């Protein structure tokens, strides 16, 4: 992992190299670790996303409501990144902000299994999108810092490959659960 002082911006790259905290080994470990986290997170997110439309319809939402929820979730998910990126830069709390975004995702997706109405499910879907918006800018800032200590192309390539692997595995796992169990709630619960 990156030294907390470095991830909060307390030291520059030269100070990190001088102290040994910005070593290539540490940077490689961080890149691999954050790539694994992205794999698991995208497995959860993409798995849920693959069935949220039909699930909302199952709960009684009309086509227009499904479209509004999806659109509003994306708007909030991308628009809020401006705020979380600014907050991360201003406070230098890259780790706490990133972790809070991952936690929001981890709580919102499995909670869909408990949603009793499409309105409750819609709130959880939007909360999941906000979780991604919160975590991505500070995570990418830390990844960029680690990549500057390693091979940038490899670092970002590995991260994106693991992210996309999660995007493949998630819907596949949900499809398998739906095929074997036949229930949305079981599928969402499995994504914990």
CA distance 27 to 22: 7
pLDDT of 124-179, one tens digit each? 999 999 999 999 999 999 999 999 988 899 999 999 999 999 999 999 999 999 99
Residue 1 pLDDT: 46
CA distance 20 to 43: 34
Residue 86 pLDDT: 97
The answer on pLDDT for 5 being more than 80 is no
Q: Which two tokens stand for residue 34?
A: 């954050």
Read off the CATH number of the domain in which 67 is found.
Answer: 1.20.1250.20
CA distance 22 to 128: 33
CA distance 147 to 140: 10
Q: Which of 128, 166, 131, 126 is nearest to 42 (CA)?
A: 166
Cβ-contact 133, 79 below 8 angstroms:
yes
The answer on pLDDT for 109 being more than 50 is yes
Domain that holds residue 144: 4-190
CA distance 46 to 55: 14
Arithmetic mean of pLDDT over the chain:
89
Q: Which of 128, 38, 130 is nearest to 78 (CA)?
A: 130
Q: CA 77, 89, 29, 4 torsion: positive or negative? A: negative
Q: Please state the domain count of the chain.
A: 1
CA angle centred on 139, ends 192 and 172, rounded to 5°: 35
CA distance 129 to 70: 10
Read off the pTM: 0.84
């Amino acid at each position: 992992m990156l030294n907390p002082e470095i991830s909060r911006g307390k030291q520059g790259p030269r100070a990190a190299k001088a102290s040994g905290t910005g070593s290539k080994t540490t940077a490689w470990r961080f890149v691999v670790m954050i790539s694994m986290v992205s794999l698991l997170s995208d497995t959860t997110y993409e798995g849920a996303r693959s069935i949220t439309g039909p699930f909302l319809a199952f709960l009684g939402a009309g086509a227009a409501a499904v479209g509004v929820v999806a659109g509003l979730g994306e708007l909030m998910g991308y628009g809020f990144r401006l705020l979380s990126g600014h907050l991360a830069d201003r406070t230098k709390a890259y780790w706490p902000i990133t972790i809070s975004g991952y936690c929001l995702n981890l709580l919102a997706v499995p909670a869909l299994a408990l949603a009793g109405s499409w309105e409750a499910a819609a709130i959880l879907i939007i909360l999941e999108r906000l979780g991604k918006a919160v975590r991505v800018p500070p995570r990418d800032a830390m990844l960029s810092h680690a990549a500057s200590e390693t091979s940038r192309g490899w670092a970002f390539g590995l991260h994106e490959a693991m992210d996309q692997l999660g995007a493949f595995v998630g819907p596949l796992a949900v499809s398998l659960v739906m095929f074997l169990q036949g229930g949305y709630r079981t599928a969402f619960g499995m994504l914990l």
